[in-house]
């Protein structure tokens, strides 16, 4: 009998963020990829959504998970969740809370609003001034 481990190791794996966990034993994982546009050489970001099987209903919205290609489990489900890399609860605790502290962007915007710019005359005022000179 042939060993199936050789083929199993060649399955595609992706890392993405869980966008929905509302279904029973299923999650929707959004995988983002970046590439350079062949003509314009700008970095382009594309996202693909995969439906993945989550046997234990462990994954929550916002979790970073690894998914692996598998046999078809339903009409649209062809991937299974392998592991949770980073839980969204961990991410929330690590991110700093910004309450009333103003950011650098806010401060620069306030400075721009405070500076007085010279007032430019409107087109109608310019026409009147030109007619008066004549």
pLDDT grade for 111, boundaries at 50, 70 and 90: low
Region at 41 (left for phi over 0; alpha for psi -120 to 50; beta for the rest): left
For the chain, the domain total comes to 1
Q: SS3 for 68?
A: strand
Examine residue 25 and state whether it is found in any structural domain, yes or no.
Answer: yes
Examine residue 62 and state whether it is found in any structural domain, yes or no.
Answer: yes
Mean pLDDT score, 105-117 = 64
Range of the structural domain that residue 26 is part of: 9-94
Examine residue 71 and state whether it is found in any structural domain, yes or no.
Answer: yes
pLDDT in tens, 83-106: 999 998 876 655 555 455 556 666
pTM equals 0.63
CATH number of the domain bearing residue 78: 2.40.50.140
| Chain mean pLDDT for the chain | 83
Examine residue 18 and state whether it is found in any structural domain, yes or no.
Answer: yes
């Amino acid at each position: 009998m042939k060993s199936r481990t050789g083929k199993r190791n060649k399955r595609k794996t992706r890392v993405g963020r869980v966008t929905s966990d509302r279904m029973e034993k299923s999650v929707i994982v959004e995988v983002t990829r970046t590439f350079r546009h062949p003509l314009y050489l700008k970095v382009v970001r594309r996202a693909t959504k995969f439906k993945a099987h989550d046997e234990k209903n462990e994954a929550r919205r916002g979790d970073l998970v690894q998914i692996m290609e598998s046999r078809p489990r339903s009409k649209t489900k062809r991937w299974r969740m392998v592991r949770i890399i980073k839980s969204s609860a961990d991410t929330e605790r690590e991110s700093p809370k910004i309450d009333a502290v103003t950011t650098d962007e806010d401060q620069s915007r306030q400075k721009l609003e405070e500076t007085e710019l010279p007032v430019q005359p409107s087109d109608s005022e310019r026409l009147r001034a030109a007619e008066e000179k004549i």
